[in-house]
Structure 1
């Protein structure tokens, strides 16, 4: 069917260029804010997401950026399929960036994550899930 004069007819969805998407069809980009800049990251570039109140801070190889989306629960829901695991009420960790797992006295777990600068605690109730997700 032809489009009315002056209107463009869209190509069928199958003929349109595909956006970069993950298996669930969601885009793998996350927006970080630093000053007046908005920086686009592929979710694989994010090492740790840390909640401070409602704000979420992204730790990346390029530094620390505030996430454009507030609420760590929203980030958790959106990027769980991309290798992120909630290890603590305040932390999501990219499992592909974990380099060491250690046990403190009392059996509590801690993760050493590459290029992060400090240890990420694992809550007791999430410890079993985290070790299973890491294949330990």
Structure 2
């Protein structure tokens, strides 16, 4: 009997890669996909998958928060672009992780490892993973290096007003200048402190300290930044923004 698989990632492209790679495993059957943390909790408990591919950073709830809230505990392979602190903890557990971008061969290794693991051991490994990752993944860089022409510029993260996706790249906007990073916005969001940076759209991440005002108009909610740029808030990220409202 085929094992049931649930794919959880807020990036369409990331889910597509997993779907394509799973085509090599006849013993695995995809039963659903999710792009939001809270939706993931509901889907895991309702569908009771045997295996879950779970992104670390998502709107609503992070991957760690998801596994802390689920009742049904499946085998889990984390998929993430965040390679500091947390991944060192992942590496000590039999439940695997995939560091984006990953190859088909690396994918095969992770799946093979999980398929050989009994359910009770998977539950214990997930518990250990949460405990270790929670204690290790709490430090974020206060300064980052981004390309500026033929050199790297040292930027203090507090100076970033917002970040904007530009295809496979990300533009970082500050008061004086903007910079184009070679990393996609899905990678960068996992390297910024979530206490200060909030994703409001697939294309935008905003520094909370630089939110000037939020207002509603006919076609949705808009955030106005400290440099007077209006950014649209997508419906799937509205709950994250509402958590800041009192």
Cα distance, 1:28 vs. partner? 2.0
* TM-score in terms of structure 1 length: 0.73
1:89 and 1:103 map into 2 onto residues whose CA distance is 19
Give the number of the structure with larger relative contact order, counting CA–CA contacts within 8 Å between residues 6 or more apart.
1
What pairs with 1:88-103 in structure 2 (closer than 5 Å)? 88-103=201-216
2:145 and 2:239 map into 1 onto residues whose CA distance is 31
Aligned residues: 110
The match for 2:147 is 33
Q: Which runs of 5+ in 1 are unaligned?
A: 1-22
Report if aligned partners of 1:87, 1:121 keep a CA contact under 8 Å in 2. Answer: yes
Identify which range, 53-62 or 33-42, moves more after superposition.
Answer: 33-42
Higher share in strand: 1
Higher share in helix: 2
1:24 aligns with 2:135: no
1:103 and 1:26 map into 2 onto residues whose CA distance is 32
Report if aligned partners of 2:172, 2:180 keep a CA contact under 8 Å in 1. Answer: yes
Q: Which runs of 5+ in 2 are unaligned?
A: 1-136
Structure 1: 4+ residue segments shifted above 3 A: none
Say which of 86, 90, 114 aligns to 2:199: 86
Say which of 209, 214, 226 aligns to 1:114: 226
The match for 1:135 is 245
Name the SS for the 2:194 alignment partner: helix
The Cα offsets for residues 90-120 of structure 1, whole Å up to 9 and x where unpaired, read as 00000110011010115x11000012x4211
The Cα offsets for residues 4-48 of structure 1, whole Å up to 9 and x where unpaired, read as xxxxxxxxxxxxxxxxxxx82332222222222321111111010
Say which of 37, 56, 73 aligns to 2:170: 56
Name the SS for the 1:59 alignment partner: strand
Cα distance, 1:74 vs. partner? 1.1
Report if aligned partners of 2:141, 2:192 keep a CA contact under 8 Å in 1. Answer: no
